Chains A and B, each alone.
Chain A
Amino acid sequence: EDQVTQSPEALRLQEGESSSLNCSYTVSGLRGLFWYRQDPGKGPEFLFTLYSAGEEKEKERLKATLTKKESFLHITAPKPEDSATYLCAVHSRYSNSGYALNFGKGTSLLVTP
Protein backbone atom coordinates (compact mmCIF):
# COMPACT_ATOMS: atom_id res chain seq x y z
CA GLU A 1 0.00 0.00 0.00
CA ASP A 2 1.33 3.43 -0.96
CA GLN A 3 2.24 5.60 2.04
CA VAL A 4 3.36 9.20 2.56
CA THR A 5 4.87 10.37 5.86
CA GLN A 6 5.79 13.97 6.55
CA SER A 7 8.05 15.29 9.30
CA PRO A 8 8.17 17.22 11.44
CA GLU A 9 4.49 17.66 12.19
CA ALA A 10 5.13 21.28 13.19
CA LEU A 11 8.13 23.59 12.81
CA ARG A 12 8.77 27.02 14.24
CA LEU A 13 11.53 29.14 12.69
CA GLN A 14 12.90 32.60 13.23
CA GLU A 15 12.82 34.84 10.18
CA GLY A 16 15.97 34.12 8.15
CA GLU A 17 16.55 30.69 9.77
CA SER A 18 16.79 28.15 6.92
CA SER A 19 15.47 24.60 7.36
CA SER A 20 14.05 21.58 5.54
CA LEU A 21 10.79 19.65 5.59
CA ASN A 22 10.81 15.92 4.89
CA CYS A 23 8.42 13.70 2.93
CA SER A 24 9.11 9.95 2.97
CA TYR A 25 7.18 7.75 0.61
CA THR A 26 6.65 4.14 -0.32
CA VAL A 27 4.97 3.64 -3.66
CA SER A 28 5.10 0.95 -6.30
CA GLY A 29 6.46 2.96 -9.19
CA LEU A 30 6.63 6.72 -8.62
CA ARG A 31 4.54 8.63 -11.13
CA GLY A 32 4.93 12.07 -9.57
CA LEU A 33 5.56 13.63 -6.17
CA PHE A 34 3.75 16.88 -5.50
CA TRP A 35 4.25 19.70 -2.99
CA TYR A 36 1.42 22.01 -2.00
CA ARG A 37 1.07 24.97 0.35
CA GLN A 38 -2.15 25.44 2.32
CA ASP A 39 -3.07 28.63 4.18
CA PRO A 40 -5.79 28.61 6.87
CA GLY A 41 -9.27 28.68 5.35
CA LYS A 42 -7.94 28.05 1.84
CA GLY A 43 -7.46 25.09 -0.45
CA PRO A 44 -4.01 23.64 -1.21
CA GLU A 45 -1.97 25.69 -3.67
CA PHE A 46 0.21 23.72 -6.09
CA LEU A 47 3.97 24.37 -5.77
CA PHE A 48 6.03 21.66 -7.51
CA THR A 49 5.96 18.30 -9.24
CA LEU A 50 9.01 16.01 -9.16
CA TYR A 51 9.16 12.89 -11.30
CA SER A 52 12.53 11.21 -10.86
CA ALA A 53 15.34 10.87 -8.33
CA GLY A 54 17.85 13.69 -8.57
CA GLU A 55 15.34 16.19 -9.86
CA GLU A 56 15.16 19.64 -8.24
CA LYS A 57 12.70 22.51 -8.60
CA GLU A 58 12.94 26.07 -7.20
CA LYS A 59 10.52 28.88 -6.57
CA GLU A 60 11.61 31.99 -4.69
CA ARG A 61 12.84 30.78 -1.24
CA LEU A 62 11.66 27.19 -1.78
CA LYS A 63 13.60 24.33 -3.33
CA ALA A 64 12.25 20.79 -3.63
CA THR A 65 14.50 17.78 -4.13
CA LEU A 66 13.77 14.09 -4.69
CA THR A 67 15.54 10.81 -3.93
CA LYS A 68 14.27 7.26 -4.39
CA LYS A 69 12.75 7.23 -0.90
CA GLU A 70 12.08 10.82 0.12
CA SER A 71 11.68 14.43 -0.88
CA PHE A 72 12.85 17.55 0.90
CA LEU A 73 11.41 21.03 0.77
CA HIS A 74 14.23 23.42 1.63
CA ILE A 75 13.25 26.88 2.83
CA THR A 76 16.04 29.44 2.59
CA ALA A 77 15.89 32.60 4.73
CA PRO A 78 12.15 32.26 5.40
CA LYS A 79 9.84 35.21 5.95
CA PRO A 80 6.67 35.35 8.08
CA GLU A 81 4.59 35.11 4.88
CA ASP A 82 6.00 31.60 4.35
CA SER A 83 3.98 30.45 7.37
CA ALA A 84 1.54 27.79 6.16
CA THR A 85 0.95 24.04 6.12
CA TYR A 86 3.04 22.27 3.49
CA LEU A 87 1.56 19.10 2.02
CA CYS A 88 3.30 16.32 0.13
CA ALA A 89 1.47 13.84 -2.12
CA VAL A 90 2.28 11.02 -4.51
CA HIS A 91 0.28 9.77 -7.45
CA SER A 92 -1.16 6.41 -6.44
CA ARG A 93 -3.24 3.93 -8.38
CA TYR A 94 -6.81 4.61 -7.26
CA SER A 95 -8.59 2.04 -9.35
CA ASN A 96 -8.05 -0.08 -12.46
CA SER A 97 -8.71 3.00 -14.53
CA GLY A 98 -6.96 5.84 -12.83
CA TYR A 99 -4.65 7.54 -10.41
CA ALA A 100 -5.22 10.12 -7.69
CA LEU A 101 -3.18 11.96 -5.12
CA ASN A 102 -2.25 10.23 -1.84
CA PHE A 103 -1.43 12.93 0.72
CA GLY A 104 0.65 13.08 3.89
CA LYS A 105 -0.64 14.83 6.99
CA GLY A 106 1.43 17.94 6.34
CA THR A 107 3.98 20.08 8.18
CA SER A 108 2.69 23.23 9.86
CA LEU A 109 5.35 25.94 9.50
CA LEU A 110 5.39 29.10 11.59
CA VAL A 111 7.97 31.79 10.84
CA THR A 112 8.27 34.50 13.48
CA PRO A 113 9.78 37.98 12.96
Chain B
Amino acid sequence: ETGVTQTPRHLVMGMTNKKSLKCEQHLGHNAMYWYKQSAKKPLELMFVYSLEERVENNSVPSRFSPECPNSSHLFLHLHTLQPEDSALYLCASSQEGVGQPQHFGDGTRLSIL
Protein backbone atom coordinates (compact mmCIF):
# COMPACT_ATOMS: atom_id res chain seq x y z
CA GLU B 1 0.00 0.00 0.00
CA THR B 2 1.20 3.49 -0.80
CA GLY B 3 -0.03 7.00 -0.04
CA VAL B 4 -3.11 7.59 2.11
CA THR B 5 -5.74 4.85 2.39
CA GLN B 6 -9.25 5.37 3.74
CA THR B 7 -11.83 2.72 4.65
CA PRO B 8 -14.64 2.18 4.09
CA ARG B 9 -15.11 4.01 0.77
CA HIS B 10 -18.87 4.19 1.25
CA LEU B 11 -20.95 4.11 4.44
CA VAL B 12 -24.69 4.32 4.99
CA MET B 13 -25.87 4.61 8.56
CA GLY B 14 -28.91 5.53 10.58
CA MET B 15 -28.92 8.46 12.94
CA THR B 16 -28.62 6.28 16.03
CA ASN B 17 -25.73 4.11 14.79
CA LYS B 18 -22.11 4.26 15.89
CA LYS B 19 -19.45 3.76 13.23
CA SER B 20 -15.80 4.63 12.68
CA LEU B 21 -13.84 5.84 9.66
CA LYS B 22 -10.24 4.70 9.30
CA CYS B 23 -7.26 6.36 7.66
CA GLU B 24 -3.73 5.03 7.23
CA GLN B 25 -0.77 6.82 5.70
CA HIS B 26 2.39 5.19 4.32
CA LEU B 27 4.32 8.41 3.61
CA GLY B 28 6.25 8.77 6.86
CA HIS B 29 4.40 11.98 7.72
CA ASN B 30 3.88 13.26 11.28
CA ALA B 31 0.67 15.29 10.87
CA MET B 32 -2.80 14.04 9.91
CA TYR B 33 -6.06 15.83 9.18
CA TRP B 34 -9.79 15.22 8.77
CA TYR B 35 -11.74 17.34 6.27
CA LYS B 36 -15.44 17.42 5.33
CA GLN B 37 -16.38 18.06 1.70
CA SER B 38 -19.99 19.01 0.90
CA ALA B 39 -21.42 19.96 -2.47
CA LYS B 40 -20.82 23.59 -3.48
CA LYS B 41 -18.75 24.30 -0.35
CA PRO B 42 -15.00 24.48 0.21
CA LEU B 43 -13.27 21.69 2.07
CA GLU B 44 -13.81 22.27 5.79
CA LEU B 45 -11.05 21.40 8.22
CA MET B 46 -12.35 19.33 11.14
CA PHE B 47 -9.34 18.15 13.11
CA VAL B 48 -5.56 18.31 13.06
CA TYR B 49 -3.16 15.89 14.72
CA SER B 50 0.40 17.17 14.72
CA LEU B 51 3.09 14.94 16.22
CA GLU B 52 0.18 12.87 17.62
CA GLU B 53 -1.18 15.83 19.60
CA ARG B 54 -4.71 16.95 18.76
CA VAL B 55 -5.41 20.56 17.89
CA GLU B 56 -9.01 21.28 18.83
CA ASN B 57 -11.51 22.63 16.34
CA ASN B 58 -14.29 24.03 18.50
CA SER B 59 -16.74 24.36 15.63
CA VAL B 60 -17.04 20.60 15.05
CA PRO B 61 -19.99 18.97 16.91
CA SER B 62 -19.14 16.48 19.64
CA ARG B 63 -20.86 13.68 17.68
CA PHE B 64 -17.55 13.54 15.75
CA SER B 65 -14.67 12.19 17.81
CA PRO B 66 -11.16 11.74 16.37
CA GLU B 67 -8.49 9.35 17.55
CA CYS B 68 -4.84 9.13 16.50
CA PRO B 69 -3.12 6.14 18.15
CA ASN B 70 0.16 6.70 16.24
CA SER B 71 1.54 8.82 13.42
CA SER B 72 0.32 6.42 10.72
CA HIS B 73 -3.28 5.88 11.77
CA LEU B 74 -6.25 8.19 12.23
CA PHE B 75 -9.85 7.39 13.10
CA LEU B 76 -13.07 9.39 13.11
CA HIS B 77 -15.69 7.94 15.44
CA LEU B 78 -19.27 8.82 14.54
CA HIS B 79 -22.24 8.80 16.90
CA THR B 80 -25.82 10.04 16.60
CA LEU B 81 -25.24 11.85 13.32
CA GLN B 82 -27.68 14.16 11.57
CA PRO B 83 -28.77 14.14 7.89
CA GLU B 84 -26.69 17.28 7.27
CA ASP B 85 -23.59 15.26 8.15
CA SER B 86 -23.90 13.38 4.86
CA ALA B 87 -20.76 14.31 2.92
CA LEU B 88 -17.37 13.09 1.70
CA TYR B 89 -14.92 12.78 4.59
CA LEU B 90 -11.31 13.17 3.54
CA CYS B 91 -8.16 12.28 5.44
CA ALA B 92 -4.83 13.92 4.66
CA SER B 93 -1.28 13.75 5.93
CA SER B 94 1.82 15.94 5.71
CA GLN B 95 5.11 16.68 7.33
CA GLU B 96 4.47 19.04 10.22
CA GLY B 97 5.39 22.63 9.45
CA VAL B 98 4.38 25.65 7.46
CA GLY B 99 4.38 25.27 3.70
CA GLN B 100 4.26 21.47 3.65
CA PRO B 101 1.75 20.08 1.11
CA GLN B 102 -0.93 17.72 2.31
CA HIS B 103 -1.63 14.42 0.58
CA PHE B 104 -5.18 13.13 0.56
CA GLY B 105 -6.92 9.78 0.56
CA ASP B 106 -9.92 9.14 -1.68
CA GLY B 107 -12.39 9.69 1.14
CA THR B 108 -15.38 7.97 2.70
CA ARG B 109 -18.76 8.86 1.18
CA LEU B 110 -21.10 8.99 4.18
CA SER B 111 -24.88 8.94 3.87
CA ILE B 112 -27.11 9.41 6.92
CA LEU B 113 -30.62 8.01 6.63
Contact = CB atoms under 8 A, between A and B. Distances in A.
Genuine A/B complex: yes
Interface of A: 4, 31-32, 34, 36, 41-46, 49, 51, 87, 89, 91, 94-95, 97-106
A100 B102 CA distance: 9
A100 B98 CA distance: 8
Nearest to A105: B42
A18 to B, nearest CB: 26
A46 B103 contact: yes
Interface stretch (B12-20, B43-51, B63-71, B79-87): B43-51
Interface of B: 4, 6, 31, 33, 40-43, 45, 48, 50, 55-57, 90, 92, 96, 98-107
A20 to B, nearest CB: 21
Contact of B98 (A91, A103, A104): A91
Determine the main DSSP class of B at the interface with A: loop
Nearest to B97: A99
Contact of A46 (B31, B42, B102): B102
Contacts of A42: 106-107
A41 B100 CA distance: 25
B42 A32 contact: no
Nearest to A39: B106
B55 A98 contact: yes
